[in-house]
Amino acid sequence: MNTLRLNAQQGQDIVTAADLLQQGKLVAVPTETVYGLAADASNPSAVSGIFTAKGRPANHPLIVHLHAITAMTNWAKDIPAAAWQLAEAFWPGPLTLLLPKADHVSPVITGGLNSIGLRMPAHPALLQVLQLNQLAVAAPSANRYKKLSPTSAEQVLAGLHGRIDAVLDGGECEHGVESTIVDLTGEPIRIVRAGPITASQLQAVLKTTVLQPQQHQAQVPGNVDAHYQPNTPLRCLDSAQLHALLLEQPSNIAVLHLNALPTAQAGIICKQMPTDAAGYASQLYRQLYQADKLGVTAIWCELPPQGEAWLAVHDRLRRAQHSAY
Ligand code: TXA
Ligand code: MG
C-alpha cells in the first residue's frame, strides 16, 4: 500500500483526509497529544483495520474522537452531569471520558467492554476533518503495538509506512503524551491514565474528590506495563546514580539529563531536557525516538522530580523502561 502524505496547511488535503476516512480508509491524524491512527467509528470493518495495521490485540479498546461536545450522546448513554461539566471545561482538549457505551456501539471499538472512551481533540486540522462530514473517528496512538507514540508525521511513517492509507502532517504535537483518561462509569471518579490534565484540575471543576492512583491501572486491556518502549534499552536513574555511572566512563550511551553533568564525556551523547513538566512531556517521545536512531547501546534518563504535574511523565518512563524503577 502506498501511504499518501497530506499537508494540514492545505485546505484540499484536509478535504482529502475527510473523504478517505468516509470511504473507510485509515488516516493518521495530528492531535494536540500524539498522532492518532483514525478510522470512521461508525464503520466496524474500517475500525478493525486499525488493529491489523498496528499489530494491536483485538480486546484493547479504542478512544472515539468527536467533532463536538453534543456528539457525546451518539456514543454514550446514562451520561452523568460530571461528564458534561468536564467536557465544557476541558474540550476540545487532552481529556478522555470513560462512559457507559450506547447500545449500538460495535464491540470492535470497545474491545467487548460496556464502556466507551470519548474525547474531542483540540488540533485545528483534525477538528476541521471531523467537522467537514460530522465524523467521529476511533483512533489509538499511531504507533506499532508497544512502541513509542508518534509526535510527528515522520515518526508515524517510521512505524506505519505502507500499512496505512495516509498521514495528515500537522506538525509537532503540543503535549507530547497521551490524554488523561478519567473513569466516570462508577464512584468515586478516578483517573486511569495520567496525562496533561491533573486530578487537581478535575477536582476544581467537579468540586468532588477524583482518585489519582500513583501507578496506572493494569486491569484495563491495553493499559499494560510494558508499553511506549524505544528499541534501545532505557534505564532511569536518579541524579546520584547517573553521576556515579558516568564516572566509570561508559561509551556509546545517550543521556537525557535535567541537571548539568559533572564533566564533558567522550562517547556519550547528551540531551538537556526541559525542567518544567509540560516542556519535558512534549519532548519525551521525540527525544527517545531521536536517541533510538543514534545506534547507542543504551539510553540513560535522569529521573525528574516527583509531584502531581510529573505523574504522566513518570508513568510513561516507567513503562518505557524495560523493568520497573
Ligand atoms: O491522547 C490520546 O488519548 C491518544 C490520541 C490519539 O487521542 N490516543 C491514545 O489511544 O492514546 P490509545 O489507544 O493508544 O490508548 C487508549 C487507551 C487504551 O489502551 C485503553 O487502555 C484505554 O485508553 N481505553 C479506551 N477505551 C476504554 C474503555 N472503554 N475502558 C477502559 N479503557 C479504555
Ligand atoms: Mg497507544
- Cell numbers 535535567 label which residue? 258
pTM here?
Answer: 0.96
Query: For position 266, what pLDDT does the model report?
Result: 79
Helix (H) or strand (E) holding 166: strand 166-169
Quickly count helices (H) and strands (E) in the chain.
11, 14
DSSP letters, 213-280, are -SS--TTSTT--SS-SB-SS-EEEE-HHHHHHHHHT---SEEEEESSPPSS--TTEEEEEPPSSHHHH
8 A C-beta contact, residue 229 and residue 147 = yes
Residue 181 CB–ligand 1 contact under 6 Å: yes
8 A C-beta contact, residue 216 and residue 223 = yes
Residue 121 DSSP symbol: -
The residue whose CA has the least distance to atom 33 of ligand 1 is 61
Which mutation among 34, 178, 185, 216 tests ligand 1's pocket best, with the greatest number of atoms within 8 A of CB? 178
The residue whose CA has the least distance to atom 32 of ligand 1 is 220
Q: In degrees rounded to 5, what are phi and psi of residue 137?
A: -120, 135
The Å distance, Cα 140 to ligand 1 centre, comes to 6
The Å distance, Cα 19 to ligand 2 centre, comes to 25
Distance CA 73, CA 232 (A): 43
Query: For position 323, what pLDDT does the model report?
Result: 65
The Å distance, Cα 234 to ligand 1 centre, comes to 24
Residues 6+ apart with CB under 8 A from 241: none
Query: For position 215, what pLDDT does the model report?
Result: 57
The Å distance, Cα 63 to ligand 1 centre, comes to 5
Q: Is the dihedral of CA 146, 199, 284, 152 positive or negative?
A: positive
Query: For position 325, what pLDDT does the model report?
Result: 63
- Cell numbers 511513517 label which residue? 157
The residue whose CA has the least distance to atom 22 of ligand 1 is 61
Residue 253 CB–ligand 1 contact under 6 Å: no
Give the dihedral of Cα atoms 289, 295, 300, 302; nearest 10 deg: -40
Residue 232 CB–ligand 1 contact under 6 Å: no
8 A C-beta contact, residue 20 and residue 166 = yes
Residue 115 CB–ligand 1 contact under 6 Å: yes
Query: For position 99, what pLDDT does the model report?
Result: 98
The Å distance, Cα 249 to ligand 2 centre, comes to 36
The Å distance, Cα 41 to ligand 2 centre, comes to 17
Residues 6+ apart with CB under 8 A from 186: none
- Cell numbers 564516572 label which residue? 247
**Per-residue pLDDT tens digits of the chain, which is 325 residues long:** 999 999 999 999 999 999 999 999 999 999 999 999 999 999 999 999 999 999 999 999 999 999 999 999 999 999 999 999 999 999 999 999 999 999 999 999 999 999 999 999 999 999 999 999 999 999 999 999 989 999 999 999 999 999 999 999 999 999 999 999 999 999 999 999 999 999 999 999 999 999 997 655 555 666 666 678 899 999 999 999 999 999 888 899 999 999 988 776 778 899 999 999 999 999 999 999 999 999 999 999 999 999 999 999 999 999 999 765 6
Which residue, among 207, 168, 162, 167, has the nearest Cα to 188 in the 3D structure? 207
